[in-house]
Amino acid sequence: MADKVEIPTVGLTQVVERLTERRIAVEKAVTTLGEAPSGLRDVFELCRGFERAFTNIVNESPAANKIKEAFFSDRGLAGNVAKLPLEKVFEIESVKKITRTADGYQPHMVSPERGLRLMAAKALDQVEGPVIQCVSAVYSMLVSAAREAAAAAGDHTEAAMSGKVPLNVPEFKNVVMPAVVRALDEWRHDAEKSEGRGRGKGRGQGEGKKGGREWRSFFG
């Protein structure tokens, strides 16, 4: 082990060159990925930064007005529902016919409760289109807002807002967006299902399977 091993100068030069190339490649990769979080504290701080950015976007940016318009404007849910001929469902003759035939024509079996449920189901059938259109529009806007917030999360950390260097982790967006989209997908699914709540209870046994979708709170 005490004997010296002679290595040609050319061989050492090649090793150094290879190591230098590797170092440069690693540095480029790190630059592409951004600054790695120093620990869980930074990860949670990025999440809080995302929450702040997302809240600001949906409450104070132009996106906030677009979301409100999707619900309350003449071109949104309120306006589209107002254009529906719902009054025809509740015209006096229609009400009489539905309540009279709800449980058959036998006088001793007439029950207005089922007829009222049928009228509600007919009205909800008309509202379904505008509701789904509104939900889809808001869903797209929220996904867009989330992408913007994920990209700006580092600028909304406490450190950044106090004048320190923002956390720069481009990969954070790729990590958080799949979770955000899954959550918004669940909201959209529940919101669309809410439009059909209770239809099965208001229809006959043959129609219950077709229209008996469970209602949930519109906003999850």
Query: What pLDDT score does 167 carry?
Result: 80
Q: What percent of the chain has pLDDT over 90?
A: 26
Distance CA 145, CA 155 (A): 15
Q: Which 8-state DSSP code applies to residue 216?
A: -
Asked if the model's pLDDT at residue 3 lies above 60, the reply is no
Nearest to 139 by CA among 191, 179, 80, 178: 191
Work out the pLDDT band at 120, boundaries 50, 70, 90. confident
Query: What pLDDT score does 143 carry?
Result: 93
Q: Which 8-state DSSP code applies to residue 202?
A: H
Work out the pLDDT band at 163, boundaries 50, 70, 90. confident
Contacts of 157 (CB under 8 A, 6+ apart): 45, 46, 48, 49, 166, 167
Asked if the model's pLDDT at residue 219 lies above 60, the reply is no
Reduce the secondary structure of 59-123 to three states and give it as a string.
HHCHHHHHHHHHHHCCCCHHHHHHCCCHHHHCCHHHHHHHHHHECECCHHHCCHHHHHHHHHHHH
Q: Which amino acid is at 203?
A: R
Distance CA 86, CA 109 (A): 28
CB atoms < 10 A from the CB of 216, how many?
14
Query: What pLDDT score does 111 carry?
Result: 61
Weakest-pLDDT range from 57-71, 84-98, 105-119, 142-156: 105-119
Query: What pLDDT score does 158 carry?
Result: 86
- Are 160 and 49 in contact, with CB atoms under 8 Å apart? yes
- What's the whole-model pTM score? 0.64
Tell me what percent of the chain is helix, strand and coil, each rounded to the nearest 5: 75, 0, 25
Contacts of 149 (CB under 8 A, 6+ apart): 50, 53, 54, 56, 57
Query: What pLDDT score does 37 carry?
Result: 53
Mean predicted lDDT score pLDDT of the chain: 76
- The predicted model gives 47-76 an average pLDDT of 90
Query: What pLDDT score does 210 carry?
Result: 40
Sign of CA dihedral 155, 158, 164, 165: negative
Residue 41 burial (10 A CB sphere; 0-12, 13-18, 19+): exposed
- Are 144 and 138 in contact, with CB atoms under 8 Å apart? no
Tens of pLDDT, residue by residue over 78-109, are: 999 999 998 888 888 888 887 777 655 555 45
